[in-house]
Amino acid sequence: MKSGTVLLIGRPNVGKSTFVNNLIGQKVAITSPKPQTTRFPIQAFYEDERGQIIFVDTPGVFDKTKDMLAKKINLQTEHALKETVDVVLYMVDHTRRRDFEEAKVLGMVRKMNKPTLLIVNKTDLQEKTYLPQYEFLKDEFPEMFKISALNKTHVDPLLARLFELLPEGKQVKSPSVYPALNIDSKTFLSELIREKIFLKTGEEIPYSASVVIDEVTERENKVTYIKARILTTKNRYKKMLVGAGGKKIKELGTMSRKEIELATGKKIFLDLTVETDPHWQEVLH
């Protein structure tokens, strides 16, 4: 049986988390159209008759890190690169110009002395392409796969090649709750709620907010009670998150509750509030 670790690296929003989620068949990492959605590496477990793969979904690498949060996100990815991996998937988005941010990612990949596959994602989007800007990479990474992570197009040949590259290994015990190996249940719940903030708010709010789960309790009638707080850095962001008459926080709560019920298969009561904490980014690990 083949067994090993595959690391995904790329710029923000190239589709790494979408790839992992759709391959696993269950949400592991949250996604949104905004950059900086993923804040820490997530290890996801995949298994079929050929063997087992631990996918490490890293946060997107930023060229400029003006704020503390972006700096910590880059450090998270740099630390992940130092872990033991068997294969690297270097993912690019052909619908975006190659720039200094891409050059920074490429520099990191070049330092890894591991088999590396070049993945050109978002082939479902053909209206705008800068693929010629990435053609030179074929000389450095001769194995290139053009895929659509969203539609799972041409993912099977990529997966087959991964199993060819992985070593024979000892079988890993499958996770029992959901296929994320390195996050606990409270972190998983907080990530699902944070995803809704990214999807339903604009401007700087998603980047100034985090979610803390204070309590998860099984109550009567098989209802799971979850007490959660959205932390944001400024009072004006708090007002926007709450919304006029509490409309926005109610919308976020409803969307989050439905997502959690879908993920857990349980009936959920979500108690969601908003607090101002200008220092929450300082304690982010």
pLDDT given at position 141: 92
Its pTM stands at 0.73
What's the one-letter identity of residue 236?
R
pLDDT given at position 177: 44
Q: Is 196 annotated as a binding residue?
A: no
Q: Is 84 annotated as a binding residue?
A: no
For residues 10 and 114, state if they share a domain. yes
Query: β-pairing, 87-93 with 116-121?
Result: parallel
Evaluate whether residue 175 is within a structural domain.
no
For residues 26 and 157, state if they share a domain. yes
Contact 74, 105 (CB under 8 A): no
Q: Is 10 annotated as a binding residue?
A: yes
* 244/174 Cα distance (integer angstroms): 46
For residues 42 and 78, state if they share a domain. yes
CATH number, domain with residue 9:
3.40.50.300
Number of domains within the chain: 2
DSSP assignment string, 158-221:
HHHHHHHHSPB-PPPPPPSSSSBSS--HHHHHHHHHHHHHHHH--TTGGGGEEEEEEEEEE-GG
For residues 90 and 149, state if they share a domain. yes
CA distances from 37 to 205, 207, 275 (A): 12, 9, 21
Greatest pairwise CA separation for the chain in angstroms: 62
What's the one-letter identity of residue 188?
F
Q: Is 12 annotated as a binding residue?
A: yes
Last residue of one domain, picked from the residues 133, 165, 197: 165
Q: Is 122 annotated as a binding residue?
A: yes
Residue 247 in tokens: 């409309």
For residues 120 and 43, state if they share a domain. yes
Residue with tokens 């099984």: 218
Per-residue pLDDT at 187 exceeds 70: yes
What does the pLDDT look like over 221-275, one tens digit per residue? 889 999 999 999 899 999 999 999 999 999 999 999 998 888 888 899 999 999 9
Q: Is 173 annotated as a binding residue?
A: no
Per-residue pLDDT at 285 exceeds 50: no
Evaluate whether residue 155 is within a structural domain.
yes
DSSP assignment string, 90-124:
EEEETTS---HHHHHHHHHHHT--S-EEEEEE-TT
Q: Is 61 annotated as a binding residue?
A: yes
Domain of residue 251: give its range: 185-283
Per-residue pLDDT at 66 exceeds 90: no
